[in-house]
Copies of this chain bind each other. A is one copy, B any other.
Amino acid sequence: MSAGRRSGLSGFPEWTPAQQWVELEVLDSLRRTFELHGFSPLRTRSVEPLSQLLRKGETDKEIYVLSRLQADDESGAPGGGDATGRDDRLGLHFDLTVPFARWVVENAGHLTFPFKRYQIQPVWRGERPQEGRFREFVQADIDVVGAGDLPEHHEVDVALVMAEALGRLDVGDVRIRVSHRRLAEGFLRGMGVPDPAAGLAALDKLAKIGPDRVADLLSLAGAGPDQARACLELAGLRGPGALDRALDLADRHGAGNADVTAGAERLGALLAAAAEVSPGVVEADLSIARGLDYYTGTVYETELVGHESLGSVCSGGRYDDLASAGSQRYPGVGLSIGLTRLLSRVFASGVQASRPVPTCVLVAVDSEERRPASAAVARALRARRIPADTAPTAAKYGRQIRHADRLGIPFVWFPSREAGTPHEVKDIRSGEQVTADPAVWLPPDADLRPVRTG
């Protein structure tokens, strides 16, 4: 039962039942934390029109397009084009933020703002299979969206909620690294980099491709050698004092401006507020840019301490322009846990559940004729919330016990053979066997359901 991920399709992981319990525990824990903080549950459809998925123009997310196998027309396009020439074929969503933004605009008339929701669903990226990246994975998102404006304290709140949520998962310490788009873009503009957006996209790759290749990209974005060096110096700033050094760097290069100051101020306020509630969890890291994404303010990435090579397990930021209808804007801020990536690391370290099945008690079956008596015992146990099953066949007791043992079921129940004789229950780990009444017997709490091990 320790199969690991055996799906034959690369990029489409599947967990074993013993791992699935851990995932369920994680999902339940996230849900509880999000709900404690006032986030409402939401699930959106898995598909959006391509026009919606591509609305913000360039994206680095690969998209899966759907077509009907039994399509009636040659094009295979479910929606077909419309009069405006938009591409209204359907695609699978590549994140949960774009569908959420669409949903908010559609439902704005029925919502009270700021609206807070959590959303836990699979997303899909049509990556080339050979890259070995996930093509289907679960994200767990929280977002707060305002109508017209969104108070800045929400940029602190979402980081703290995620810190708490990740902390409760008991998967190790996390560090949420933050930067601010205005600070970084302002600095690039102040330095005279002709294409600040391209510059940001270059800096975003620092951890992946290293400073030399980022410098090449910066020069493609129009930066001269001195400008590239200063940008790389900015991106190298991290931890306590990073903001002061950033302002100092801007001063030295005459790159200071209102955006740099405002970005640094907001980031500073966020760091101070977070430090008060959860010291050491949130830190500045000015290399974070989240290149091609739709963010306009604070940006976040999260590393699992000791597993930095895994990359960010929880990212996001503030977006002011993602959702709008007419002149009404819906600015938001949110964070998204890459749950599949996180779990893949947890499972690689050997974590799984103590047993693959929920069953706490296997009720032995004496003979097929007496199966109803065993089924009645199982029902009595279930009535008191004890997961119970009957043996699949009336084999010899030894074989029935081995069946329980193979599944990690701790107890085997032997029903009374005739009126007046007692039932007995055996702890198959210790071998201890005692008489018991199906209406009152209780297993130890620790045996009631599968628990995390490893």
Contact = CB atoms under 8 A, between A and B. Distances in A.
Interface of A: 1-3, 6-9, 12-17, 20-21, 23-24, 35-47, 49-50, 62-72, 76, 78-79, 90-92, 103, 106-107, 109-112, 114, 116-117, 122, 124, 126, 128-129, 136, 146, 151, 153-154, 273, 276-277, 356-359, 368, 371-372, 375, 379, 382, 385-389, 392-393, 403, 406-407, 449
A342 B375 CA distance: 29
B151 A46 contact: no
B46 A17 contact: no
B35 A358 contact: yes
Contacts of A72: 128
A92 B39 CA distance: 30
A449 B45 CA distance: 25
A363 B117 CA distance: 19
Contacts of A356: 40
Contacts of A449: 35
Contacts of A78: 126, 129
Contacts of A23: 43
Q: How many chain copies?
A: 2
Given A12-B47, A69-B65, A129-B78, A40 B357 contact: yes
A106 B1 CA distance: 12
Nearest to A386: B36
26 contacts: A1-B112, A3-B107, A9-B45, A12-B47, A14-B43, A17-B41, A17-B117, A20-B43, A23-B43, A24-B41, A35-B449, A37-B388, A39-B358, A46-B46, A46-B124, A50-B69, A63-B69, A64-B67, A66-B66, A66-B126, A68-B126, A71-B126, A112-B406, A114-B392, A116-B357, A116-B389
Given A106-B7, A112-B407, A91 B64 contact: no
B1 A44 contact: no
Contacts of A47: 9, 12, 136
Contacts of A103: 14
A43 B70 contact: no
Given A38-B359, A45-B9, A68 B70 contact: no
A129 B79 contact: yes
A91 B44 CA distance: 20
A388 B117 CA distance: 14
A70 to B, nearest CB: 5
A34 to B, nearest CB: 8
A128 B78 CA distance: 8
A44 B112 contact: no
A392 B150 CA distance: 9
Contacts of A112: 1, 403, 406-407
A44 B392 contact: no
Contacts of A388: 36-38
Contacts of A114: 392
B65 A151 contact: no
A3 B15 CA distance: 36
Contacts of A49: 9
A12 B358 contact: no
A2 B110 contact: yes
Given A78-B129, A357-B116, A106 B8 contact: yes
A361 to B, nearest CB: 9
Nearest to A64: B66
A45 B136 contact: yes
A143 to B, nearest CB: 13
A289 to B, nearest CB: 22
Given A17-B40, A46-B136, A69-B126, 14 more contacts: A1-B110, A6-B106, A20-B41, A36-B386, A39-B358, A46-B46, A62-B69, A62-B70, A63-B70, A64-B66, A65-B76, A68-B126, A68-B128, A277-B379
